[in-house]
Amino acid sequence: MKLNTLLLAIAFIFSAMQMGYAQLPDGSIAPDFTITDLEGEEHNLYSYLDSGYSVIIDFSATWCGPCWNYHTSGVFEDLHEAYGPNGSNELRILFIESDDNTTDDDLHGTGTNTWGDWTAGVNYPIADNGGSVFNAYECAFFPTIMTVCPNRLLKQTGQASFDAHAAYVQSIECAPATLPQDVGLIDYVGSVRTCPETPIELGVKLINNGTEPLTSCTLEATTLFGTELLTYEWSGFLDTYEIETVNIGEAIFPTTSMFSIEVTSEDGYDGNNSVSATMNLSQETATSLVRVQITTDNMPGDNRWSITDLNGDEIAGIAFGDMADSNTDYNWWVNLESLGCYSFNLFDLTGNGGDLSCSFSTYNEGGFETNNIFTLNNSGNWNQLDKGFSVNEVNMNVDGDFGMAQFALFPNPLNHENTVQLTGLTGNETRIDLHSSTGALVQSWAQPNHRGTLSLPIGPIETGLYIISVHSAHGVVSQRLIKS
């Protein structure tokens, strides 16, 4: 293999790492496609599935070493012989060369980007230029090997042994519909985070694996310890292999708990009648005013954050690339405006974690931190971290002043200035304090005895949020001061 091939392979592996291995998850509906093999024969996925066949799809590239090693192991040839058209006739295998930059010569072993002749001794279909199918399946690395069952649901079966592939193809999970009534639950649909005393909508993907139309069934949700959450009577019309997402109702979880949703009505096969998940109960509380602080690492464009509500809708956040400067402090103030259950999410595109630091905190009307909800300061490997919390107090608008300020500050924010002008003093003030956002006293000026405008020598301070509080016999008024 020539050097350019090696570089291409390394480049693709790196790109796969960046994409975070985001191929379609197990249980997804396989997209339909039609390919033309090297002999000019067309192969349509859904036609095979509708005929009762399972289909193994091998997404490979001629320059991929692991692809070549598995290809030449003979596993697929043996499967084709035992279960293909000349065997038990229950399986089809499709090899799809998925790098459109390779050539027919590469497939036949005479090109420059190849490990050998991929067609030698192969009797199952081989197709070239399959990049569009590779993309439709959201594949991120070579080889990606998926098995699609007659019900059109896929599973990444990978570089498994002959016995492992055969066992899955012949399992009841992947068998064509034979029973008149067979209700299947594919996956839980809904949030896996809620807050105390907060109703959360539960749902499932329902499939008819039976040969007769499905018109009704009973679904029940229970916790791991047997506490019944709700029962739902579904009715509708699903033909064989048709799928419907069913919202079964709202439940209140007393604590973090595993739970299951099951078919409890009469059914021909109970092996696919249950799905389970874990509901996480968020105990952290917050006011509506929150601050996100991030110190970037050497790859700032790889990170983003968001705040989502209970439905998963993004309320606030930034996009990848919005933080352009490495090893730099960034701050955002967000007012969530309404009570409810939320989640703070931190993302890393390449999954290397980096030396990123992040703090997510909540503040009261005086501008003082009341709770640090999330803190990160390590270089661990991760793609996404999240922390749930509930807003139990709407205290102010982020664009407004802290407290009931009756004075003005200039300039605000401070850039390189070490002095701030405070306007609106009455001459009756007893003390002026400068606090950090954590409540630490930075400076204090006693008995200013000044009416109108006063110049406060702040001096050099670090970037961030500060609170200036003016004390008098009538009380305390505060206003935020930002050092940018």
The stretch 423-446 carries a mean pLDDT of: 81
Instruction: Write out the residue limits of the CATH 2.60.40.10 domain(s) in the chain.
Output: 183-281
The pLDDT value given to residue 153: 93
Band of residue 433 on the pLDDT scale cut at 50, 70, 90: confident
The pLDDT value given to residue 17: 37
Chain position carrying tokens 């608008």:
397
**For residue 423, pLDDT beyond 80:** yes
As a CATH number, domain 408-483 is: 2.60.40.1930
Going by C-beta distance under 8 Å and a sequence separation of 6 or more, which residues neighbour residue 424?
406, 407, 408, 452
At position 443, the amino acid (one-letter code) is Q
**For residue 102, pLDDT beyond 60:** yes
The pLDDT value given to residue 247: 97
Q: How far is CA 233 from CA 1, 83, 145, 191, 230, in A?
A: 61, 40, 38, 21, 10
Chain position carrying tokens 């109702």:
249
- Top-level class of domain 285-393: mainly beta
98-110 b/e (C-beta count within 10 Å ≥ 16 → b): bbeebbeebbbee
Average pLDDT, the chain: 87
Q: How far is CA 373 from CA 291, 297, 323, 337, 376, in A?
A: 10, 21, 22, 18, 10
Band of residue 205 on the pLDDT scale cut at 50, 70, 90: very high
Band of residue 297 on the pLDDT scale cut at 50, 70, 90: confident
The stretch 398-419 carries a mean pLDDT of: 68
**CB 444, CB 454: distance < 8 Å:** no
The pLDDT value given to residue 107: 97
The stretch 350-367 carries a mean pLDDT of: 80
Q: What is the largest CA-CA distance in the chain?
A: 100
**For residue 257, pLDDT beyond 90:** yes
The pLDDT value given to residue 158: 96
Band of residue 5 on the pLDDT scale cut at 50, 70, 90: very low
Q: How far is CA 339 from CA 28, 190, 325, in A?
A: 35, 20, 34
**CB 56, CB 146: distance < 8 Å:** yes
How far from chain centre, in Å, is Cα 460? 41
The pLDDT value given to residue 465: 85
**For residue 473, pLDDT beyond 80:** no
**CB 211, CB 299: distance < 8 Å:** no
| Most confident segment among 206-220, 398-412, 469-483 | 206-220
| Most confident segment among 204-208, 449-453, 480-484 | 204-208
CA-closest candidate to residue 99, choices 56, 144, 48: 144
DSSP code per residue over 19-81? HTS-PPPTTPBPPP-EEEBTTS-EEEHHHHHHTT-EEEEEEE-TT-HHHHHHHTTTHHHHHHH
The pLDDT value given to residue 452: 80
Angle at 217 between CA 215 and CA 221, to 5 degrees: 150
The pLDDT value given to residue 393: 86
The stretch 320-326 carries a mean pLDDT of: 88
- Top-level class of domain 183-281: mainly beta
CA atoms within 13 Å, Cβ hemisphere of 74: 4
Instruction: Write out the residue limits of the CATH 2.60.40.1930 domain(s) in the chain.
Output: 408-483
Band of residue 367 on the pLDDT scale cut at 50, 70, 90: low
Band of residue 475 on the pLDDT scale cut at 50, 70, 90: low
Q: Percent of the chain at pLDDT above 90? A: 58
Instruction: Write out the residue limits of the CATH 3.40.30.10 domain(s) in the chain.
Output: 3-174
The pLDDT value given to residue 365: 66
CA atoms within 13 Å, Cβ hemisphere of 107: 22
- Top-level class of domain 3-174: alpha beta
Going by C-beta distance under 8 Å and a sequence separation of 6 or more, which residues neighbour residue 25?
none
